[in-house]
Amino acid sequence: MQGIHSKPLVLAIAVCALGLSLQATPVYLAARQEVPEVIPCKPVTMPQQAAIISTGARVLHHIARARTDIGTREVTDAGKEIDRAESLLDNIQATLPTTDVTDWVQVAQQHLEYASPREVLPDLIPIYASLHELHDSMPTGAARQHLDQARKYLQSGDREKGMEALEAAAGALQYLEVELPLDSTRQMVSRARKDLNSGNWDAADSALQSAEDSTVYLSVAFQQPLFAAKALIWQTVLDLDAADTDLARSDFEGAIGYLELVSQTTDESIQQAAGRLFTQAKELQKDLVNDTDAGSGVRRLWEQTRALTARSLEYLAAGWERYRSEDPLKSSLIEARLHLANARIDQFSGRETARAREELQAVRRYLDQAAGQVNSELAPDPYQNQISSLQAHIEALGADPSAAREPRYAALQQTLQNMIRSL
């Protein structure tokens, strides 16, 4: 694990290389609804990438062996394999750049439970120092603002608001769990451990299957050049903010190379959109070469690339679920959730209302299909009312996708996810 412990280069894509429940994975979609979306940073080096992928393979190996032991009711052996998987996941967690900050925040929160607010002020010093260390490789502005608020509340003796501000500071650094939710997978493995200890074999196996599925699917997703393009475009944004034009040109040239690869893919779900991004990037490159202000254009390109990446991941996740499903109703709901997720991405990440409306029309088609399957196959029907309600909500959103806030989309995704899991 020494090869992946170097500074904050082990950021978003590092955990992505591990292949653990990224934001588009079915298990995690529900858990991330209310967490603000944030920003990925520098890509890892090839040696670091290899080390993390190797560790991910070892995690997958132990999960698979635990599932085999569960199948033969070997509780002791299954427990040992889960322990080994958890240990590897803990090692990965310890290398993440935000771990030190959140640990210090927790110390301050613990002290605030029994000490006076002013006595806790020294606990903020290592938090500020840790944020400073992260500043050159990830966005820390929001966390620092919350920490500044916490300091003011502690100085005034307001324990409750100080605690809330500290919590918000830690939450602002949870982008690793939003974009690349290592924590989600750890929770699934931990849940398997509890189910195993209580003798609930089926539940333990189901939890491990969720972790296993996401690991397999994401190990494929990581190979896509779209991830590297997104990271390099964001790095270009940081370069321009730092007034380092030469480095910006270099990073952006690398991003263009990756976008060109994406535009040549045979994957019809992203080929056309990637081609448009590649064309935009070539135009922006001229501005960078000519020292024309390209900051806003590059940031906009990053937002569009982020949206395309999220859409690509949704397709990967849905494809893996379809492969595992033989239930026509479940498959229809999976498709409906996929297009609803894409509508959410198009509207709130890509700022493309027209595309969001098209995706919502697709959601409605698959819900209509699901309604027909319910009526013909299930009696009594526990899903008919839920599908009817979803159809009404989607029809209202389709009339004006921008009229609703993102939490409404997230809530509908959650409803679909719950139905899918129940089948």
- Residues 323-365 have pLDDT tens digits of 666 678 888 888 888 889 888 888 887 778 888 999 999 999 9
239 in any annotated domain:
yes
Residues 150 and 259 in one domain: no
Count of other CB atoms within 10 angstroms of residue 146: 21
Integer Cα distance of 130 and 14 in angstroms: 20
Q: What is the CATH number of the domain that holds 107?
A: 1.20.120.1130
Last residue of a domain, one of 263, 280, 309: 309
Domain range enclosing 275: 225-309
Q: What is the CATH number of the domain that holds 403?
A: 1.20.120
pLDDT at 220: 53
User: Residue 325: helix, strand or coil by DSSP?
Assistant: coil
Residues 330 and 288 in one domain: no
335 in any annotated domain:
yes
Contacts 24+ apart (CB under 8 A), 60-63: 60/19, 60/212, 60/215, 60/216, 62/88, 63/189, 63/208, 63/211, 63/212, 63/215
Residues 226, 258 contacting (CB under 8 angstroms): yes
pLDDT at 338: 82
315 in any annotated domain:
no
The rounded percent of the chain whose pLDDT value lies above 70 is 72
pLDDT at 140: 72
Residues 87 and 116 in one domain: no
pLDDT band at 397; cut points 50, 70, 90: very high
Residues 136 and 157 in one domain: yes
pLDDT band at 22; cut points 50, 70, 90: very low
106-126 burial: b if 16+ Cβ within 10 Å, else e: eebbeebeeeebeebeebbeb
The total domain count for the chain is 4
pLDDT at 170: 78
pLDDT in tens, 252-307: 998 999 899 888 877 776 788 888 889 999 999 998 888 778 888 888 888 888 77
pLDDT at 44: 44
138 secondary structure, DSSP code: S
The full length of the chain comes to: 423
The rounded percent of the chain whose pLDDT value lies above 90 is 21
178 secondary structure, DSSP code: H
Integer Cα distance of 161 and 167 in angstroms: 10
Residue of higher predicted confidence among 154 and 316: 154
319 in any annotated domain:
no
205 in any annotated domain:
yes
pLDDT band at 58; cut points 50, 70, 90: confident
314 in any annotated domain:
no
Residues 390 and 274 in one domain: no
Residues 131 and 275 in one domain: no
Sequence-separated (6 or more) residues with CB below 8 Å from residue 374:
329, 381, 383, 384, 387
- Report whether pLDDT(5) > 50: no
pLDDT at 351: 79
Last residue of a domain, one of 280, 309, 338: 309
Sequence-separated (6 or more) residues with CB below 8 Å from residue 186:
86, 89, 90, 93
Residues 336 and 399 in one domain: yes
Sequence-separated (6 or more) residues with CB below 8 Å from residue 18:
52, 53, 55, 56, 59, 92, 182, 215
- Report whether pLDDT(203) > 70: yes
Chain centroid to Cα 389, Å, comes to 28
- Report whether pLDDT(383) > 70: yes
pLDDT band at 232; cut points 50, 70, 90: confident
Residues 197 and 62 in one domain: yes
Residues 63 and 212 in one domain: yes
Residues 169, 150 contacting (CB under 8 angstroms): yes
Integer Cα distance of 120 and 113 in angstroms: 10
pLDDT band at 180; cut points 50, 70, 90: very low
Residues 75 and 199 in one domain: yes
Last residue of a domain, one of 221, 253, 284: 221
pLDDT at 317: 66
Name the nearest CA neighbour of 195 among 70, 63, 58, 65: 70
Residues 91, 5 contacting (CB under 8 angstroms): no
State which amino acid sits at residue 41: C
Residues 166 and 216 in one domain: no
391 in any annotated domain:
yes
182 in any annotated domain:
yes
Integer Cα distance of 402 and 379 in angstroms: 37
Sequence-separated (6 or more) residues with CB below 8 Å from residue 79:
193, 196, 197
Residues 217 and 231 in one domain: no
Average pLDDT taken over every residue of the chain: 76
294 secondary structure, DSSP code: -
Number of alpha carbons in the 13 Å side-chain half-sphere of residue 96:
25
pLDDT band at 316; cut points 50, 70, 90: low
pLDDT in tens, 61-93: 898 899 999 999 999 999 999 999 988 887 766
